Structure 1
Amino acid sequence: MSSPASRPVPPAAANLVNLRGAVDLSSLKRPSQPAPQAPGGVPGGPGTQAGQETPGGQGSPELSVTVTEGNFQQLVELSAQVPVVFALWASYSPESAAMVETLERLVAGYGGRLVLGTADIDAFPQLAQAFQVQAVPTAVAVLKGQPVPLFQGGADEQQVRSLFDELLKVAAANGVTGSLGAGEPKDAAPAPLPPLHQAAFDAIEAGDYAAAADAYRQALNEMPSDHEAKAGLAQVELMARLQPLSAQDSEAVRSQAADEPDNLQAQLAVADLDVAGGHVEDALNRLVAFIGRNFGPERETARVRLLELFDVVGAGDERVAKARQALARVLF
């Protein structure tokens, strides 16, 4: 697998822009005494306490821990070094055991570049509230103290692996390239980026999305088949559109879009917000529906934006494949 730093900023990078401050993890104060430990019964994770080996030797003491009120803040702080994946489960959810087992097995294979925390939401309900969990099981990553939604419900191993690869690309784009040293040297250097891609990453870290977009455009001018530059361009353009929006602005544009379904700019803005917030299917369906109702220049503008969001989400994503089929139906 190529180094995560050798690829463009993935779709989840937009989440770091849009979710900054949206979930207040600092409100979960560490108590003077740890909360009761999570009960066992879910294979491979929720029954494993911090500092213990996981059943069957799949995990490691450092890479998979049970989340409690006592260690939660430490895990958030650790996310400045490596991404921390939180698996929120419940004993009443039949999918929880399989999800945790899959996450634990895969995290163990990333050589210390990821850490898994498993949390029983019945034992730690504040965590479910902080992450705004609507269903279990749910997986949410934390990167530099900021949440990045991964998935809810079941996910097969290949899907999870792809999400982890994308998460590590987000981490690299945000300067988080650490390792706990399990199976990989801590000082392993990522493969160098092409100069224009490196310029784009540097601009992203500086918050200069216009400069990042210029770098990706130049890369595409030099090599039109550079798919990573194309995806990177779509992603930083999304980030640039979202950057000036306050929470109040976001609510206002959502209200306008609900009241004016044929207002192009409002629909485009809400689609951006939904992609950045992890509601990808809602965003794509919104634009497909707009295209189906409208004709002329506005329809073409919406179509072009939809194709850009396809690049943001990723061509291999099942939601993109479904939206492409829906788009073909309304166009032809």
Structure 2
Amino acid sequence: MTQQPFSRPGAIDLSALKQRPAPAGAPAAPAGGGASGSGGGRASSAYSVAVDEANFQTVLEASMNAPVVLVFHSASQVPESVDMAADVIQVANEYDGRFLAATIDVDANPQIAQAMQIQQVPLMLVILDGRPATQPIPGAAPIDDIRALFNQLAQQLTAQGIAGRHQPNAFGAPVAAVEGEEGAEPEVDPRYAPAQDALADGNIDQAVAEYQKLVDGNPADHEAAAGLAMAKVLQRTQGVDLDAARAAAAAHPDDVDAQTLVSDLDMLGGHVEDAFARLIELVRRTAGKDRDKAREHLLALFGAVGNDDPRVLKGRASLASALF
């Protein structure tokens, strides 16, 4: 069974939060403004919200059509976590609504931290459909690493046909995903709609064909190219037994087909650097047609992640070393 980049575990348990309404006439938490209660003077963002108990459920509901990235921070415990929260806001804003950065000051909102079982800060958690869609991502990270993470998530969203976007809330509009009129479908870029519809229907072969048309028509369409690369990963791993594939790769370390299959599975599981390292070592050990096949497969995975991703830049340097 293949690992999926976005999973659907159980809903978030909010029972630890006290069920008390906000005082009548109390203002809503500010939409935008970054990490609440700290970092004064930070520029607001069209795609961020400072979370408290009053709006937490609304923020979770906003994840029904597009991902929400929760960022837990504390100025008193880890001051640099506030800067990281601001970096997440900046990066989320670069994606024009594909993500909403939701910052949570655990000092001001300890009950949210308790309900979410947050043991340390900073910590990021991606929410989709009101549920955690990734494992928690602990620890401080430089902005380049945050961009790399968002890039990987965006590619996975494209490959899975998840196209919803959040509406900008720079002027204090309520946090909500773009739906237009009540009950309307999320806005979808019409160029990608056929491929994304095919993915939503589980027709991966059709999705590959639709992305291929886009790439053939415009080779400079990097999002289509990335979508094609990830759709091909899904295509190659359909029906694959993960344990059997890993056992075969371990038993046959120089079998190109076995190794490239596991690299695809690593990609789907979010283990991008492991996928790259496996193929780079395969290139180092092999020669002739086997080496060419491993190299070409690696280049395709580079395209799926994005050529500007720091992990790809590092991988290209390692590939050059393996080749020469």
Normalising to structure 2: TM-score of the pair?
0.69
**Equivalence for 1:85:** 69
CA distance in 1, matches of 2:147, 2:5: 24
Cα deviation, residue 148, structure 1: 4.7
- Tell me how far 1:317 sits from its aligned partner: 0.8
Tell me which of 300, 321, 326 is aligned to 2:318: 326
Which of residues 20, 28, 33 is equivalent to 2:7?
20
Asked if 1:179 is matched to 2:179, the reply is no
3-state secondary structure, aligned to 1:244: coil
Distance 1:34 1:65, change over 3 A: farther
**How many pairs are equivalent?**
293
Once residues 192 and 109 of structure 1 are traced to their aligned partners in structure 2, the CA distance between those partners, rounded to angstroms, is: 17
Query: In structure 2, do the counterparts of structure 1 residues 234 and 184 end up closer, same or farther at CA, with 3 Å as the change threshold?
Result: farther
Contact 2:156 2:230 in 1 (8 A): no
Contact kept, 8 Å, 1:141 with 1:148, in 2: the verdict is: yes
Q: Which runs of 5+ in 1 are unaligned?
A: 1-13, 36-42, 49-53
Q: Which amino acid aligns with 1:118?
A: I
- SS of residue paired to 1:140: strand
Shift of 1:85: 0.9
TM-aligned CA deviation for residue 284 of structure 1: 0.6
Q: Which has the larger share of helix? A: 1
- Give 5+ residue unaligned stretches, structure 2: 21-32
Equivalent in the alignment of 2:83: 98
Residues 80 and 143, structure 1, Cα contact 8 Å, conserved in 2: yes
Q: Is the 8 A contact 1:65 1:116 kept in 2?
A: yes
Find the counterpart in structure 1 of residue 239 from structure 2.
Answer: 244
C-alpha displacement of 1:273: 2.6
Q: Which deviations, in whole Å up to 9, do the C-alpha atoms of 1:244-281 show, x marking residues without a partner?
A: 34xxx324433443454334333223322322333222
Structure 1 letter corresponding to 2:304: V
Distance (Å, rounded) in 2 between the aligned partners of 1:32 and 1:298: 57
Match of 1:307 in 2: 299
Q: Give the counterpart letter for 1:179 in structure 2.
A: Q
Q: Pick from 254, 262, 267: which aligns with 2:254?
A: 262
TM-score by length of 1: 0.68
* SS of residue in 1 equivalent to 2:18: coil
> 1:82, 1:95 → 2: CA distance?
28
Kindly provide the CA deviation profile for residues 163-215 of structure 1, in whole angstroms up to 9, marking residues without a partner as x. 65775676674142342644499649968544xx4322222232222111112
Whether 1:139 and 2:124 are equivalent positions in the alignment is yes
Moved more, 163-172 or 275-284: 163-172
Cα distance between partner residues in 1 of 2:72 and 2:238: 30
Taking the aligned partners of 1:181 and 1:290, their CA distance within structure 2 comes to 48
Q: Aligned residue for 2:200?
A: 205
Instruction: Evaluate the alpha carbon distance shift between residue 310 and residue 57 of structure 1 in structure 2; reply closer, same or farther with a 3 A threshold.
Output: closer
- 1:284 aligned partner: 276
CA pair 184-250 structure 1, distance change in 2 beyond 3 A: farther
- Does 1:45 pair with 2:39? no
Give the corresponding residue for 2:29.
none
Paired residues of 2:5 and 2:270 also in contact (CA < 8 A): no
Which residue pairs with 1:30 in the alignment? 15
The aligned counterpart of 2:211 is: 216
Which residue, 227, 230, 241 being the options, matches 1:232?
227
